[in-house]
Amino acid sequence: MQLQEQPTQQADAIDLMVNMGPQHPSTHGVFRLVIWVDGEKIVRSEPHIGYLHRGSEKLCEGEQYSQIITLFDRLDYVGNLNCELAICMATEKLMGIEVPERAEYIRVILCELNRIASHMLFYGVYGLDAGAMTPILYGFRERERVQALFEAVTGARMMHNYIRIGGVNEDLPDDFQPRMDTLLDQLERGIEECDDLLSQNEMFLARTKGIGAISAEEAIDLGVTGPALRACGVPEDVRISEPYSIYDRFDFGIPVGTYGDCWDRYYVRVEEMRQSLSIVRQAMKQLPEGEIAANVRRIARPPKGEVYLRTESPRGDFGVFLVSDGSDMPYRVKVRAPSFCNLQALQAMLRDAYIADAVIVLGSIDIILGEVDR
């Protein structure tokens, strides 16, 4: 870390500028945070992003609709399937395509498993941020199981490129049902184990309770969504407030926090994994036989128009604004990345915090730089 003196207006106090990142293991990617401290207290902080800017939105303008899906995989590289789902659903809405039942169920099952895998990664690295080595081993063990299933279904552990406009790429493997039965039982046990291991740990509580709290009004004003908003006590979930796909057929709750501090943001995610598991169980019971893709022309040409579609990704409200001019390539694609907006709240969360809490607060937002920078 590099230290530099920063002159201030006050004559007797000298604020120190502390630079964190861009290459720093606790920033979860290439992210730079500049903090001005007065003793141990953070006076001001300034996030710097853009180190991973690849111009994804512009790249989309030069690809056909079916080719964009793979670019969306690389936005939120921990919740890939949720990103794929968003762009495919936006195109379908524009073209007015009806997706077969079975495909909808496959999508929901995989997306909810993806949410569990993403939250398991958060759980593991958040333990590391707080100084606990063990949680990451448990978190990754569970994540690994989900990824093994993804490999069996989609052929890839991470960049799946599985969801297609009008359906999914291929049908489920023959041994899907028995695999899911074991996986769901293992995950259920795993989530309880993870919860027992960290959530009520005395030292973990001391590091996270009451740290980095923001009020609900402030969070809404800053555009915070997802678990970070629900931790403030706002029961807002796109899956319930504006149900997309077939989410209105399942019975599940929205976990909300009380104080909007780091622990609430952590525990909302743990609870969400249980809810996701319950959705997957319900979907597995209802999973119908039938077609897995609608009959769509290989080169999709949506009509002229624009659509804004939002989905609930593991990190929050993932929106796609798609403008079509009637050709085979989109005219404009704008991605509303949840991490991008949630990261804006970092300055507010770090207000009056101590420098030792900076990493804890940053970790609790659960950013993925791939979608922040796009």
Partner 1 sequence: MARPPRREPTIPEAPVALDSMGEALTSTLAEVFGPEWATQIGAAIDEVTLTVPADQVAGVCITCKTDPRLDFNYLRCLSVVDYVEASAEFEVNYHLYSLDKRHKMVIKTRLPEDSPAVPTVTGIWAGANWYERESHDLFGVVFDGHPDLVPLLLYEEFEGFPGRKSFPFHDYEEW
Query: Can you tell me the distance from the alpha carbon of 90 to that of 96, in angstroms, rounded to the nearest whole number?
Result: 10
Question: Which x/- pattern over 287-326 shows residues binding partner 1 (rule: CB under 8 A)?
Answer: ---------------xxxxxxx-x------x-x-x-xxxx
* CA-wise closest residue to 226 among 187, 186, 265: 265
Q: Is 242 near partner 1 (CB under 8 A)?
A: yes
Backbone angles phi, psi at 19, to 5 degrees: -100, 130
Task: Give the Cα-Cα-Cα angle 368, 254, 266 (nearest 5 degrees).
Answer: 45
Give whichever of 218 and 291 is closer to partner 1, judged by the CB atom.
218
Q: Is 336 near partner 1 (CB under 8 A)?
A: yes
Residue choice 73, 84, 371, 373 for contact with partner 1 (CB under 8 A): 373
Residues 150-189 that bind partner 1 (CB under 8 A): none
Residue choice 40, 144, 192, 221 for contact with partner 1 (CB under 8 A): 221
What letter does residue 171 receive in the DSSP assignment?
A: P
Question: Which x/- pattern over 40-69 shows residues binding partner 1 (rule: CB under 8 A)?
Answer: ---------xx--x-x-xx--xx-------
Size of the site for partner 1 (CB under 8 A): 46
Give whichever of 132 and 294 is closer to partner 1, judged by the CB atom.
294
| Distance, C-alpha 257 to centroid of its chain | 18
Task: For the chain, report the end-to-end CA distance as a whole number of angstroms.
Answer: 27
Is 101 in contact with 290 (CB distance < 8 Å)? yes
Query: Can you tell me the distance from the alpha carbon of 99 to that of 130, in angstroms, rounded to the nearest whole number?
Result: 44
Q: How far is the CB of 95 from partner 1 (least distance, A)?
A: 8
Residue choice 38, 331, 351, 354 for contact with partner 1 (CB under 8 A): 331
Q: Is 262 helix (H, G, I), strand (E, B) or coil?
A: helix
Residue 163, beta-bridge partner list: 168
- What is the binding site for partner 1 (CB under 8 A)? 49-50, 53, 55, 57-58, 61-62, 93-94, 96, 218, 220-224, 234, 236, 241-242, 302-308, 310, 317, 319, 321, 323-326, 331-332, 334, 336, 340-341, 343-344, 373-374
